[in-house]
Structure 1
Amino acid sequence: MLRRLLSHAAIYGLAAQVPRVAGILTLPIITQYLTTVDYGVAGVVTAYVLALNTLHSLGLSVVMISSFARYPTRYQWIWRQLHGFLSVWSIAFGFVLGAVLWWGIPAEAAENRWEIILLQVLPVMFLGVTEFQAMFLYQISQRPFPVALRSFIVGITTVGINIYTIAYLKLGYMGWFYSNFFGSIVGFLLYAYPFYFKEKLWPILRFRWSRIKQSLQVSIPVIPHHFSFFLLDASDKLVMDVLRVQVPRIGLYNIASSFGLYFMAASNAVVQAASPFYIQYIAQPNNEKTARQARDLTFALQALFLIVTFMLCLWLKELFILLIRNEELRQAYPLAIIILMGYNYKPMYLGATNQLVYREHTKVLWKISSVAGVGNVLLNIVLIPLYGIQAAALTTFVSLMYMGYSGYLLKEYRQMSLVNYYPWLWLSLTVIALLVVYLLADINLFMKTFITAGVGIGAIAVYWFSGNRISKS
């Protein structure tokens, strides 16, 4: 099973990450033509978009996954109802997003305000629902290839337009907005034919309100849970904007946090591949054997994430020197180490929340995600004026750790759990790894190579042990 999961993750990840890696490799080209102001404007606008993005789907992904698992012969009717409702809702949502952007776009980008709004709003209003449902369909039906192919083509398109608009046309931050806009159009075209003509998932615009109300009763409590991911991933830049931190300082933090988000995007390939396996295990209640299989899967993934983030952070200073052709932006690597190490929380987070979601304990998810997200914002409001952008990196790490491990304290989880996940051991290992790699960031290349070899041997041993333990599942 572990090898099959990793093969699916490779299909999701390799195709999706090839253009992302290409995007990283273009940093030496485009950073010559970008400033901290460009990164600051892009960071602030993206923060406002992500803040509202959780309202776009209204948490209905939970209903889609549940209906697919529970009603395999008639989920299409439920999905078409939801598609019709979300298509109508997207129009209204687009106007709300436009109004917020009009207010939130920094003064440094005022001359391009209308252009930015249109580039951000139009794909959301008319294209977003198709991508949202198609991605979930292929993911939970264990068909990774369409998602991977789409990610590859859209990624390459976006990277190409980025280089053209930033390095050739010298458009600065506007290059990102143009490339994302055209990438959305290409992504819609790639999904539209198989989703509508092969799967026959045309929207039912005359949807039944009773079905929609029933779905919203399950999904609405999940919105604060989904919103918390914004509060953890992007709210730092929004808080800095509200606190009137200078846009160049926001840009410096944005380049640091982008490396954490690169890893998060890459790790989503593993998460996408793992989700069907988790559903397979937890769909069998009170089965200690499958509970152990889910735990073994979680442990294997957590070890993998911890090793990868440690290795990346160990070499992050050299990666900044190699990739960032801008001396001012290179100073962000210590912040990037702290942020990146926080993003290895996901496997342990999945180990608890997948069980809560499947058992429809969605009303308690806020105790994990909302507390983590709101706590991150409040700490930033208090600490950024005192300690600057360094405080934002530390609060992000602390909040991500809370997100990953607090679910194991919930009464609802303890009542259904059949095996011990040893969360506090994994948390301690993560904190120790952060302290060690932060102290080792500036050591010489020989020592880094020696440590890398040692960790690599350990990783092979972990994979071999985990593969033998889990692959028979």
Structure 2
Amino acid sequence: MGALKKLFKHTFIYGLATVLPRLLSLVLTRLYTDKLPTDDYGIYASLFVYLISGNVLLSYGMETAFFRFMNKSERKSEVQSTALTSIFITSGLFLIVSYLFKDNIASFLEFELEFILYGILILFFDALCVIPFAWLRNQEMPLKYSFIKIATVVVNLGLNLFFFLVLPLLVDNNSSSVFNALVFENKVHYIFISNVLASLFGLLLILPLYIRIRLRFDFYLWKKMIRYAFPVLIAGVAFSINEGFDKLMLKYLLPENIAEETVGVYAACYKLGAFMSLFVTAFKLGVEPFFFSNANKKNSKEIYADTTLYFTIFGAFIFLFVVVYIDIFKTILISNSAYWEALWIVPFILLANLCIGIYHNLSVWYKITDRTRFGAYISVFGALVTLVLNFVLIPIITYKGSAIATLIAYGSMMLLSFYFGQKHHPIPYNLKKIGSYLGVSILFVFLSFYVFDRNLIIGTVFVLVFLTLIYKLENRELKKMMKSISAKKFK
């Protein structure tokens, strides 16, 4: 239980770095959906899918390789400097090559040239931060990590508020204003300009770590790290397909006159699933170095089993809570009712994110046993499911097909990871409890959302019943954990 206390402590702090920025991001969702028509919001959502894939390609699994080799190698300084140098060189090459071919990229992807340039700069700045952020996590410095992450997003928020709310006031009825040069007819420009400047700000904050870690390169060590990282890269590419290609396929498979608008309403309601992804991301940030640092302990398997159980408990509660109070959240986060058309997808997206969170917990077996190729196999399978089901379902039921495909893809990845994990590195998961919590939450969500049509009173009863179930089954262990956590101050 001591190891779990440390994990949840770090998860809480990483959660601040994840939850607070994402909450600010949800504020921006309200801003964007208020100020942008649905088709322009679709342009923004589509381009960000490419940025997700670009981030994966430019980090190419080196972050995970960094954690693995930092915890198993005695040459820690060479590991961190080699990883940093590798990312630094490849990021520079990306910047040069992509700028030279910027017109071709814009033509192929069917975006304005300016949007492609914004994307290139965002990807370049973010890639340079990958290893420094990993170094902070490995050194168990969550407070510094959180400060930089939060500061970056605050800058992003401030710039968006300036462009969307303040700038129009500065140029209104004043043709000679110096701010006129910042005015764009298509307001999507403001989103990407804010992201470029925020990413640059984050890089400047973390730049001193380049001096501390140093740019040095050990080619022999790098080859071993790349061999470990390559399957992680494949898995990451496949994951980016699962995460965002539904929006691209909606754009390219639907008739042109409704494609961007459909992507816009789908992407906006997809954001309501962010409550689960916040929890999953925060947990993943804390759990990845935690898994590696506990790999050699005698009770490591029991620790991993307990971690997955408690993750499932909290995740199942979040799933139920958000669905029950979705009508409150939608009015707060998406006031423009034109976007509410796709609200049907929210339970599917929340459950899909919960499945992928459980998958991240289950994936410990192939990471600590250096069988990362299984992560690639599973993720590629999930990507194929995503592509095939979207291709089949979108022409029939449009965005509903995308939501169903996402859930099936993530659910199948979760089940495959469990199956192969129990064959190669069995862990004594409490399947009875995990299945019970998942089953009850899914049942309550189905009844609340689809049978009782989101009746708030009935949904609240379901929430209270679920909390009572948690209290009855986990009261003793949760009390021990919370008492131990509160007895210690965060470093």
Is TM more than 0.5 here? Answer: yes
1:433: Cα distance to partner? 5.1
Q: Which residue of 1 aligns with 2:317?
A: 307
1:93 maps onto 2:94 in alignment? yes
Unaligned ranges ≥5, structure 1: none
Residue of structure 1 aligned with 2:134, choices 114, 136, 146: 136
**Structure-2 change in CA distance of 1:92 and 1:211 (3 Å):** same
Q: How does 1:29-428 map to 2 (within 5 A)?
A: 29-71=31-73, 73-94=74-95, 95-96=97-98, 98=102, 101-103=105-107, 105-106=109-110, 113-125=112-124, 127-169=125-167, 172-193=187-208, 195-197=209-211, 200-204=212-216, 207-245=217-255, 246-261=259-274, 263-284=276-297, 287=298, 289-410=299-420, 413-422=422-431, 425=435, 428=439
**Structure-2 change in CA distance of 1:174 and 1:334 (3 Å):** same
1:142: Cα distance to partner? 2.1
**Structure-2 change in CA distance of 1:416 and 1:323 (3 Å):** closer
Unaligned ranges ≥5, structure 2: 169-185, 486-491
**Structure-2 change in CA distance of 1:429 and 1:405 (3 Å):** farther
Distance, in Å, in 1 between the alignment partners of 2:314 and 2:350 is: 14
Distance, in Å, in 2 between the alignment partners of 1:244 and 1:351 is: 36
Distance, in Å, in 2 between the alignment partners of 1:434 and 1:369 is: 27
Conservation of the 8 A alpha-carbon contact between 1:130 and 1:191: no
**Structure-2 change in CA distance of 1:84 and 1:281 (3 Å):** closer
Distance, in Å, in 1 between the alignment partners of 2:310 and 2:249 is: 36
Q: CA RMSD in A?
A: 2.7
Q: Please, what TM-score do these two structures have when normalized by structure 2? A: 0.85
Amino acid in structure 2 at the alignment position of 1:50: I
1:34: Cα distance to partner? 1.3
Conservation of the 8 A alpha-carbon contact between 1:30 and 1:163: no
Q: Deviation string for 1:245-277 (max 9, x for gaps)?
A: 511011111112222245314431122222333
Distance, in Å, in 2 between the alignment partners of 1:166 and 1:307 is: 36
Conservation of the 8 A alpha-carbon contact between 1:142 and 1:273: no
1:420: Cα distance to partner? 4.0
Q: Deviation string for 1:219-270 (max 9, x for gaps)?
A: 1122221112211111101212232451101111111222224531443112
Conservation of the 8 A alpha-carbon contact between 1:300 and 1:466: no
1:392: Cα distance to partner? 0.4
Distance, in Å, in 1 between the alignment partners of 2:122 and 2:407 is: 32
Q: Deviation string for 1:74-113 (max 9, x for gaps)?
A: 222122122222222113333348467413554xxx5xx2
Conservation of the 8 A alpha-carbon contact between 2:319 and 2:441: no
Conservation of the 8 A alpha-carbon contact between 1:48 and 1:100: no
Q: Deviation string for 1:23-66 (max 9, x for gaps)?
A: 42455444321111121101111112222332211212232011
Distance, in Å, in 2 between the alignment partners of 1:458 and 1:182 is: 47
Amino acid in structure 2 at the alignment position of 1:416: H
Distance, in Å, in 1 between the alignment partners of 2:479 and 2:341 is: 43
Conservation of the 8 A alpha-carbon contact between 2:348 and 2:403: yes
Conservation of the 8 A alpha-carbon contact between 1:45 and 1:101: no
Q: Which residue of 1 aligns with 2:475?
A: 464
Conservation of the 8 A alpha-carbon contact between 2:348 and 2:404: yes
Distance, in Å, in 2 between the alignment partners of 1:104 and 1:44 is: 14
Q: Deviation string for 1:354-396 (max 9, x for gaps)?
A: 1211110012222321101221111101111122111101111
**Structure-2 change in CA distance of 1:14 and 1:216 (3 Å):** closer
Conservation of the 8 A alpha-carbon contact between 1:28 and 1:324: yes
**Structure-2 change in CA distance of 1:408 and 1:333 (3 Å):** same
Conservation of the 8 A alpha-carbon contact between 2:118 and 2:196: yes
Conservation of the 8 A alpha-carbon contact between 1:45 and 1:104: no
Number of residue equivalences: 457
**Structure-2 change in CA distance of 1:445 and 1:432 (3 Å):** closer
Distance, in Å, in 2 between the alignment partners of 1:420 and 1:446 is: 35
Conservation of the 8 A alpha-carbon contact between 2:306 and 2:429: no
Amino acid in structure 2 at the alignment position of 1:202: R
Distance, in Å, in 2 between the alignment partners of 1:211 and 1:122 is: 29
Mean CA deviation greater in 390-399 or 88-97 = 88-97
Give the match's secondary structure for 1:332.
helix
1:461: Cα distance to partner? 5.0
1:141: Cα distance to partner? 2.6
Q: Deviation string for 1:106-152 (max 9, x for gaps)?
A: 4xxx5xx2321222112433x33431011111223322111111121
Amino acid in structure 2 at the alignment position of 1:228: A
Give the match's secondary structure for 1:142.
coil
Q: Please, what TM-score do these two structures have when normalized by structure 1? A: 0.88
Conservation of the 8 A alpha-carbon contact between 1:348 and 1:405: no
